[in-house]
Amino acid sequence: MNEIKKMIPYLLAVAVAFYLLPLLGSSTGDFMVIMLIIMPLACLAISSFYGFKNGWNLIFPIAVGILFIPAIFIHFNSSAWVYIVGYSVISAVGVFVGKAFKK
């Protein structure tokens, strides 16, 4: 339970990226830039910071993927399902990189 409490601020930051950044888009091109560049970079940065502070935890990348599911219905369409895996992998890489810098 203590591990989950440590994740909450970082997951909230990821949720802000997933739910508020798409509001900045006004066209398909904007949404593509947000979804393919800005959101993955935000996810990587937040996950790296989590990994640096808390070490490796497999639950965090899974939670990041789960957090993206409602965003598909709110901001995107059914073709965005593949990004669940992508954001989870990016998050796992970020946590691993953050843990590596902790040493």
Residues spanned by the domain of 36? 2-102
Q: Is the whole model's pTM more than 0.85, yes or no?
A: yes
Q: Are 33 and 41 in contact (CB under 8 A)?
A: no
What averages of pLDDT result for each successive group of 10 residues across the chain (103 residues)? 89 95 84 89 97 93 96 87 95 95 77
Whole-Å CA distances, 5 to 10, 36, 62, 84, 91 = 10, 29, 15, 23, 18
Q: How far apart (Å, rounded) are the C-alpha atoms in residues 57 and 62?
A: 10
d(CA 35, CA 9): 22
Distance CA 52, CA 27 (A): 36
How many domains does one find in the chain?
1
